[in-house]
Amino acid sequence: MTAAPVEDGSWPRAARACLAMPVYEWVLFIGVSIVTVLLTGFRTGLPGYIAIGVQSLFVVLIMYRLIGGALRLKRLMRDVRSAEGLCCTRCGYAVGRDPAEPRCPEWGEGFDPDEAVRAWKRMGPGWCRGF
């Protein structure tokens, strides 16, 4: 199902696409952790500075992912607040309150605006203040 323009003729904009960690990042983390175990646990004969470099890279990648995920979540919640909670709970798409049958253009599913607001508020105090 394709999205349709809203009343003013503009197309809806997604608040955020997805919060799930992409598969390539999981593969990268698993690969680096296996290499780290091989370099430090089994002593492959490589110099110590290479093992320390790989471990440092692993820590930097994890920190990058954690900080990046926290920033994405913060942006998502800012967008949800600006849309007054009328965002799809699966993808974060700013759907709005349509008097006809509201649907999420990304998923094509029916959208209950009141249930969406309640679901975003269930995230906990502090996340969705202001709507």
Q: What is the pLDDT of residues 65-117, one digit of tens each?
A: 878 877 888 888 888 888 888 888 888 888 877 656 677 777 777 778 888 88
List of residues 6+ apart from 73 with CB closer than 8 A: 19
Q: How many CB atoms lie within 10 A of CB 40?
A: 15
Tens digit of pLDDT for each residue in 45-73?
667 677 777 777 877 888 788 788 778 88
pTM for the whole thing?
0.52
